Amino acid sequence: MKKIGILLTLLVSSCVMWAQKVYTVDYDYQADVKVYVVQYEYQADLKVYKVKYDYQAGKNDGKWFFTDYSYQADKKIYFTKYDYQADLKIYFVDYDYQAGWRENSKQQLMW
Protein backbone atom coordinates (compact mmCIF):
# COMPACT_ATOMS: atom_id res chain seq x y z
CA MET A 1 0.00 0.00 0.00
CA LYS A 2 2.87 2.36 0.84
CA LYS A 3 4.45 1.72 -2.58
CA ILE A 4 1.20 2.62 -4.33
CA GLY A 5 1.02 5.89 -2.39
CA ILE A 6 4.59 6.79 -3.36
CA LEU A 7 3.93 5.89 -6.99
CA LEU A 8 0.78 8.05 -7.08
CA THR A 9 2.63 10.98 -5.50
CA LEU A 10 5.40 10.77 -8.10
CA LEU A 11 2.91 10.49 -10.93
CA VAL A 12 0.88 13.51 -9.80
CA SER A 13 3.94 15.66 -9.14
CA SER A 14 5.38 14.89 -12.57
CA CYS A 15 2.12 15.92 -14.23
CA VAL A 16 2.10 19.20 -12.33
CA MET A 17 5.74 19.86 -13.16
CA TRP A 18 5.15 19.52 -16.91
CA ALA A 19 1.90 21.45 -17.06
CA GLN A 20 1.94 24.46 -19.34
CA LYS A 21 0.61 27.11 -17.02
CA VAL A 22 2.04 30.43 -18.07
CA TYR A 23 1.98 33.95 -16.70
CA THR A 24 2.64 37.06 -18.76
CA VAL A 25 5.14 39.44 -17.15
CA ASP A 26 5.54 43.15 -17.85
CA TYR A 27 9.31 43.22 -18.38
CA ASP A 28 11.68 40.94 -20.28
CA TYR A 29 14.08 40.52 -17.34
CA GLN A 30 11.23 38.92 -15.32
CA ALA A 31 10.61 36.21 -17.92
CA ASP A 32 11.80 32.64 -18.17
CA VAL A 33 11.08 32.71 -21.90
CA LYS A 34 10.69 35.62 -24.32
CA VAL A 35 7.95 34.94 -26.87
CA TYR A 36 6.99 36.50 -30.19
CA VAL A 37 3.62 35.88 -31.86
CA VAL A 38 4.10 35.32 -35.59
CA GLN A 39 1.57 36.12 -38.27
CA TYR A 40 1.68 32.79 -40.08
CA GLU A 41 1.74 29.21 -38.80
CA TYR A 42 4.81 28.18 -40.82
CA GLN A 43 6.89 30.86 -39.04
CA ALA A 44 6.26 29.39 -35.58
CA ASP A 45 8.36 27.11 -33.41
CA LEU A 46 5.27 26.21 -31.41
CA LYS A 47 1.56 26.29 -32.21
CA VAL A 48 -0.33 27.30 -29.06
CA TYR A 49 -3.92 26.70 -28.06
CA LYS A 50 -5.27 28.67 -25.08
CA VAL A 51 -7.29 26.38 -22.82
CA LYS A 52 -10.08 27.66 -20.55
CA TYR A 53 -9.19 25.75 -17.38
CA ASP A 54 -5.88 24.93 -15.71
CA TYR A 55 -6.54 21.17 -15.66
CA GLN A 56 -6.70 21.24 -19.49
CA ALA A 57 -3.14 22.50 -19.77
CA GLY A 58 -0.87 20.16 -21.67
CA LYS A 59 2.51 18.66 -20.96
CA ASN A 60 4.75 20.75 -23.20
CA ASP A 61 2.45 20.19 -26.15
CA GLY A 62 1.28 23.74 -26.84
CA LYS A 63 -1.86 23.73 -24.70
CA TRP A 64 -1.40 26.74 -22.44
CA PHE A 65 -3.38 28.06 -19.53
CA PHE A 66 -2.73 31.71 -18.67
CA THR A 67 -2.73 32.19 -14.90
CA ASP A 68 -3.81 35.29 -13.02
CA TYR A 69 -0.80 35.29 -10.70
CA SER A 70 2.88 34.52 -11.27
CA TYR A 71 3.11 32.03 -8.40
CA GLN A 72 0.51 29.83 -10.14
CA ALA A 73 2.57 29.52 -13.31
CA ASP A 74 5.18 27.01 -14.37
CA LYS A 75 6.72 29.50 -16.81
CA LYS A 76 6.75 33.27 -16.92
CA ILE A 77 6.70 34.65 -20.45
CA TYR A 78 7.24 38.05 -21.97
CA PHE A 79 5.78 39.00 -25.34
CA THR A 80 8.41 40.80 -27.40
CA LYS A 81 7.77 43.48 -29.97
CA TYR A 82 10.16 42.04 -32.56
CA ASP A 83 10.91 38.44 -33.57
CA TYR A 84 14.69 38.77 -33.17
CA GLN A 85 14.20 39.54 -29.44
CA ALA A 86 12.38 36.26 -28.79
CA ASP A 87 13.59 32.87 -27.61
CA LEU A 88 10.46 31.23 -28.96
CA LYS A 89 8.10 32.08 -31.83
CA ILE A 90 4.49 31.02 -31.37
CA TYR A 91 1.30 30.99 -33.40
CA PHE A 92 -2.13 30.82 -31.75
CA VAL A 93 -4.39 28.15 -33.23
CA ASP A 94 -8.17 27.83 -33.06
CA TYR A 95 -8.46 24.18 -32.01
CA ASP A 96 -6.63 22.07 -29.42
CA TYR A 97 -5.72 19.30 -31.88
CA GLN A 98 -3.69 21.85 -33.91
CA ALA A 99 -1.37 22.65 -30.99
CA GLY A 100 2.16 21.28 -30.98
CA TRP A 101 5.80 21.79 -31.75
CA ARG A 102 6.99 22.60 -35.25
CA GLU A 103 10.62 23.03 -34.16
CA ASN A 104 11.59 20.31 -31.67
CA SER A 105 14.98 21.83 -30.88
CA LYS A 106 13.25 24.54 -28.80
CA GLN A 107 11.19 22.17 -26.61
CA GLN A 108 13.58 22.49 -23.69
CA LEU A 109 12.57 26.15 -23.29
CA MET A 110 9.20 25.12 -21.89
CA TRP A 111 10.29 22.27 -19.59
What is the per-residue pLDDT for 111?
Answer: 86
Helix (H) or strand (E) holding 2: helix 2-18
What is the per-residue pLDDT for 61?
Answer: 92
What is the per-residue pLDDT for 103?
Answer: 82
Looking at residue 77, its amino acid is I
Domain hosting residue 45, numbered range: 2-110
- pTM summary value: 0.79
What is the secondary structure of 4-56 as a DSSP string? HHHHHHHHHHHHHHHB-EEEE-SSGGG-SEEEEE-SSGGG-SEEEEE-SSGGG
CA 100/CA 62 separation, integer angstroms: 5
Residue 85 in this model has a pLDDT that exceeds 60: yes
What does the pLDDT average to over 5-18?
A: 43
Degrees, nearest 5: CA angle 46-49-55? 120
What does the pLDDT average to over 46-65?
A: 93
Domain count of the chain?
1
What is the per-residue pLDDT for 95?
Answer: 97
